[in-house]
Amino acid sequence: MESTSIRNSYRILKANLFFTGLLSRKITIRKFWNIFVCTIAYLLKTKKSARAPFLLSLELWNECNAGCLFCRNEKGQVYNINPETPMVGSISKGKMPPDMAMEIIDQVKDDVLIAVLYTNGEPLLYQELGKVIRFATQRKVMTMIATNGLLFNEQNAREILEAGIDLIKIQLGGFTQDIYSIQIRYGHVEKLKENIRMLARLKKEINTPVLIMIDWITYNYNRHQIPLIRQFCDELGLLLSFRQGNPRGGLEDKEAPLPTTTLPMSCDWLWKAMQVNFNGEVLQCCEGVVWSNIEPYTTYKTGDRNIVSIWNGLAAQNTRQLMAAQGRKSMSICRQCQRAGVAFKW
């Protein structure tokens, strides 16, 4: 039965990803060691963590073609999740230069396990996506994207598969157009299904170990279609995962609200993962890209090549100390946050 919990630990996915990484020789003893040291640093709540994060998240571009209700308004303005400032108008949009993305990956290539090449935007809009993936693959860094899948075509799909991407997560919240379009303003589900079939075919044709996972966003209105998506994934040999949908943007009175209580446990992101926004701002985690007025650790500029020292720099140390001393109550961004463990949102 599908999970009704807001949080999904993605255990099966992580196990599969691990074997994919071994197969493609992107997982090394040094990377294991880095995960181990990050984990120990988190458990001991030390000011410094391992030499590098084991997860690197890059916001390549926060533009999107789908316009999901919970994410942005009809003008495409991204919602700000900081309740103390206006909901629209305070999250700026922009694109990370590919040289910056590649330079950051290059500095942590020996330690980082995976580079996550999206945060809030649609990665298929980023023309240099294949180039960045290929660069990471050549340096034995695993890569993944989460996409709405609507912009796939034979050319870009082939390009990123051949570049060596390890995981493609495709968001889906309806199997028929009437249900799909409740949450997604722009997009045709039949075209999306066609794209997914093409991707599954190309995976076989190219013979790549890439994992393709359908990420079913569960709402009350789409539960009855779960058997359909199960059958679809079984037929194509795709992974299927479930997580709770966010009702913001018009579904608040029909769907279960997201929890608002502050989680009692500390947060491991500060010791294990690094987020870089499109403009080079190095943030404590990916929540920061949609939280206005966040204080970045610093702003990275192409050519600085100091990402490792930022990771254990004073700003990062101070943030870890705050979390260690007072838990999530110490920062307003953390008070509302429901992330538990380094994984996708919910």
- Cβ of residue 342: shortest distance to ligand SF4, in angstroms? 8
User: Considering only residues 175-234, where is the footprint of ligand SF4 by CB under 6 A?
Assistant: none
Q: Which residues pair with 57 in a beta bridge?
A: 116, 275
**Of the candidates 267, 282, 307, 310, which one interacts with ligand SF4 according to CB under 6 A?**
267
CA Rg value for the chain = 19
- Binding span for ligand SF4 by CB under 6 A among 50-58, 95-103, 262-270, 303-311: 262-270
**Of the candidates 96, 145, 168, 285, which one interacts with ligand SF4 according to CB under 6 A?**
285
Q: Between 166 and 287, name the residue whose CB sits nearer to ligand SF4.
A: 287
Q: Which residues pair with 115 in a beta bridge?
A: 56, 143
Q: Which residues pair with 282 in a beta bridge?
A: 276, 298
Tell me which residue of 90, 119, 59 sits closest to 293, measured CA to CA.
90
337 binds ligand SF4 (CB under 6 A): yes
339 binds ligand SF4 (CB under 6 A): yes
Name residues whose C-beta falls within 8 Å of residue 167's C-beta, 6 or more positions apart in sequence: 13, 17, 20, 142, 143, 144, 145, 210, 211, 212, 213
272 binds ligand SF4 (CB under 6 A): no
**Of the candidates 151, 287, 296, 311, which one interacts with ligand SF4 according to CB under 6 A?**
287
- Cβ of residue 110: shortest distance to ligand SF4, in angstroms? 25
Distance, CA of 236 to CA of 245 (rounded, Å): 24
Write out the two tokens for 31: 């990377």
- Cβ of residue 114: shortest distance to ligand SF4, in angstroms? 17
289 binds ligand SF4 (CB under 6 A): no
270 binds ligand SF4 (CB under 6 A): yes
DSSP state, residue 11: H
282 binds ligand SF4 (CB under 6 A): no
Q: Which residues pair with 50 in a beta bridge?
A: none
Whether the CB-CB separation of 199 and 152 falls below 8 Å is answered with yes
Q: Between 95 and 335, name the residue whose CB sits nearer to ligand SF4.
A: 335
Distance, CA of 277 to CA of 119 (rounded, Å): 8
- Binding span for ligand SF4 by CB under 6 A among 94-102, 218-226, 265-273, 307-315: 265-273
276 binds ligand SF4 (CB under 6 A): no
Parallel, antiparallel, or unpaired for β 298-299 and 239-244?
unpaired
Q: Between 91 and 196, name the residue whose CB sits nearer to ligand SF4.
A: 91
141 binds ligand SF4 (CB under 6 A): no
Distance, CA of 126 to CA of 163 (rounded, Å): 15
- Cβ of residue 333: shortest distance to ligand SF4, in angstroms? 4
Distance, CA of 284 to CA of 316 (rounded, Å): 7
Count of positions on this chain that bind ligand SF4 (CB under 6 A): 11
Write out the two tokens for 133: 């993936």
- Cβ of residue 246: shortest distance to ligand SF4, in angstroms? 15
284 binds ligand SF4 (CB under 6 A): yes
328 binds ligand SF4 (CB under 6 A): yes
274 binds ligand SF4 (CB under 6 A): no
134 binds ligand SF4 (CB under 6 A): no
Write out the two tokens for 18: 């691990």
Sheet holding 281-283: strands in order across? 239-244, 211-218, 167-172, 142-147, 114-116, 55-58, 273-276, 281-283, 298-299
Q: Is 197 helix (H, G, I), strand (E, B) or coil?
A: helix
Q: Between 102 and 285, name the residue whose CB sits nearer to ligand SF4.
A: 285
Q: Between 169 and 339, name the residue whose CB sits nearer to ligand SF4.
A: 339
Residues that bind ligand SF4 (CB under 6 A): 267, 269-270, 284-285, 287, 328, 333-334, 337, 339
